[in-house]
Chain A
Amino acid sequence: MRQAEALESAYGKDRDPPMFKKILIANRGEIACRVIKSARKMGIKTVAVYSDADRDALHVEMADEAVHIGPAPANQSYLLMDKIIAACKATGAEAVHPGYGFLSEREAFPVELQKNGIVFIGPNPGAIAAMGDKIESKKAAAAAKVSTVPGYMGEIKDAKHAVEIANQIGYPVMIKASAGGGGKGMRIAYDAKEAAEGFELARSEAKSSFGDDRCFVEKFIENPRHIEIQVLGDKHGNVVYLGERECSIQRRNQKVLEEAPSPLLDEKTRKAMGEQAVALSKAVGYDSAGTVEFVAGQDRSFYFLEMNTRLQVEHPVTELVTGVDLVEQMIRVAAGEKLPFKQSDIKLKGWAVESRVYAEDPFRNFLPSIGRLVRYRPPAEGSKDGVTVRNDTGVFEGGEISMYYDPMIAKLVTHAPTREEAIDAQAAALDAFYIDGIQHNVPFVSAMMQHPRWRSGKISTGFIKEEYPEGFTPRAPEGKDLITLAAVAGTIDHLGNTRRRDITDQMSGHSVNFAKRRIVRIGSAEVELEVLGAIPGPYYVSILDGDGQPTKTMEITSEWWPGEPVWFGTVDGADVAVQVRPISNGMTLSYRGIQAPTYVYTQREAELAALMPVKLAADMSKFLLCPMPGLVKAVNVSEGQEVKAGDNLAIVEAMKMENILKAERDGKVKKVAAKPGDSLAVDAVILEFA
Chain B
Amino acid sequence: MKDIIDELEKRRDNARLGGGRARIDAQHAKGKLTARERIELLMDEGSFEEFDMYVEHRCTDFGMEKTKVPGDGVVTGWGTINGRVVYVFAKDFTVMGGSLSETHAKKITKIQDMALKNRAPIVGVFDAGGARIQEGVDALGGYGEVFQRNVLASGVIPQISVIMGPCAGGDVYSPAMTDFIFMVKDTSYMFVTGPDVVKTVTNENVTAEELGGAKVHTTKSSIADKAYENDLEALLQMRRLMDFLPSSNKAGVPVIPTHDSPDRLDHSLDTIIPDNPNKPYDIKELILKVVDEADFFEIQEAFAKNIVTGFARMEGSTVGIVANQPMVLAGVLDSDASRKAARFVRFCDCFDIPILTFVDVPGFLPGTAQEYGGLIKHGAKLLFAFAEATVPKVTVITRKAYGGAYDVMSSKHIRGDVNYAWPTAEIAVMGAKGAAEILYRSELSDPVKIQTRIDEYKKRFANPFVAAERGYIDEVITPSATRKRLCRALNMLRNKTLENPWKKHDNIPL
Contact = CB atoms under 8 A, between A and B. Distances in A.
Given A505-B246, A584-B228, 12 more contacts: A400-B271, A499-B257, A505-B251, A506-B80, A512-B82, A514-B44, A561-B260, A584-B229, A602-B45, A605-B236, A608-B41, A613-B31
Interface string B81-105: 0111100000000000000000000
B260 A501 contact: no
Which 8 pairs show the lowest CB-CB distances between chains A and B? A398-B268, A563-B293, A506-B83, A613-B31, A512-B83, A398-B271, A612-B230, A562-B293
Given A56-B271, A585-B237, A561 B293 contact: yes
A505 B318 CA distance: 13
Nearest to A375: B268
Nearest to B30: A613
B31 A612 contact: yes
B230 A613 contact: yes
Contacts of A618: none
A174 to B, nearest CB: 41
B470 interface: no
Given A512-B44, A563-B260, A501 B268 contact: no
Interface string A507-519: 1001110110000
Given A561-B259, A563-B295, A584-B237, A505 B267 contact: no
B435 interface: no
A122 B268 CA distance: 36
Contacts of B268: 373-375, 396-398
A372 B279 CA distance: 12
Interface string A569-586: 000000000000010110
A611 B231 CA distance: 10
A66 to B, nearest CB: 16
A611 B24 CA distance: 12
Interface in B231-275: 231-233, 236-237, 240, 243, 246-247, 251-252, 254-260, 267-272, 275
A56 B267 CA distance: 13
B40 interface: yes
A398 B80 contact: no
Given A398-B267, A561-B259, A563-B292, A501 B232 contact: no
B60 interface: no
A608 B82 contact: no
B28 interface: yes
A66 B3 CA distance: 91
B231 A505 contact: no
A615 B187 CA distance: 12
B45 A604 contact: yes
B320 to A, nearest CB: 18
Interface in A607-622: 608-609, 611-613, 615
A609 B235 CA distance: 11
A584 B243 contact: no
A506 B45 contact: no
Nearest to B281: A372
A665 interface: no
A399 interface: yes
B204 interface: no
A55 interface: yes
Given A582-B294, A585-B236, A506 B82 contact: yes
Q: How large is the interface on A (under 10, 10 to 19, 20 to 34, 35 or more residues)?
A: 35 or more
Nearest to A565: B294
Interface in A545-566: 561-563
Nearest to B275: A55
B65 interface: no
B295 A507 contact: no
A501 B82 contact: yes
Contacts of A55: 275
Contacts of B230: 612-613
Contacts of B186: 613, 615
A612 B41 CA distance: 13
A180 B270 CA distance: 38
B452 interface: no
6 contacts: A400-B271, A500-B243, A502-B256, A503-B254, A505-B251, A585-B240
B44 A611 contact: no
A504 interface: yes
Contact of B285 (A374, A510, A514, A615): A374
Interface string B40-51: 110011010000
A504 B259 contact: no
B233 A506 contact: no
B267 A501 contact: no
Interface string A429-466: 00000000000000000000000000000000000000
Contacts of A515: 45
B183 to A, nearest CB: 14
B304 interface: no
Nearest to B259: A561
A88 to B, nearest CB: 27
Interface of A: 55-56, 372-375, 396-400, 499-507, 510-512, 514-515, 561-563, 582, 584-585, 602, 604-605, 608-609, 611-613, 615
Q: How large is the interface on B (under 10, 10 to 19, 20 to 34, 35 or more residues)?
A: 35 or more
A28 to B, nearest CB: 17
B31 A608 contact: no
Interface of B: 28, 31, 33, 37, 40-41, 44-45, 47, 80, 82-85, 185-186, 228-233, 236-237, 240, 243, 246-247, 251-252, 254-260, 267-272, 275, 281, 285, 292-295
Contacts of A561: 258-260, 293
Nearest to A502: B257
Nearest to B83: A506
A372 B295 CA distance: 21
A615 B33 contact: no
A507 B240 CA distance: 18
A512 B236 CA distance: 17
B232 A609 contact: yes
Given A499-B256, A563-B292, A398 B232 contact: no
B45 A507 contact: no
A611 B236 contact: no
A375 B266 CA distance: 10
Given A608-B37, A612-B31, A505 B84 contact: yes
B233 to A, nearest CB: 6
A504 B44 contact: no
Nearest to B46: A513
Contacts of A375: 268
A101 to B, nearest CB: 25
Nearest to B240: A585
Given A608-B232, A612-B232, A503 B31 contact: no
Nearest to A376: B268
Contacts of B281: 372
B448 to A, nearest CB: 22
Nearest to A582: B294
A505 B231 CA distance: 27
Contacts of A501: 82-83
A675 B94 CA distance: 54
B256 A503 contact: yes
A562 B256 CA distance: 12
Contacts of A372: 272, 281, 285
Contact of A585 (B33, B80, B85, B233): B233
Which residue of A374, A604, A613 has the most chain B CB atoms within 10 A of its CB atom? A613
Nearest to B231: A612
Nearest to A535: B259
Which residue of B82, B228, B236 has the most chain A CB atoms within 10 A of its CB atom? B82
Contacts of A506: 80, 82-84
Contacts of A399: 271
A196 to B, nearest CB: 41
B338 to A, nearest CB: 28
Contacts of B41: 604-605, 608
Contact of B232 (A499, A563, A605): A605
Contacts of A400: 271
Contact of B47 (A373, A502, A512, A613): A512
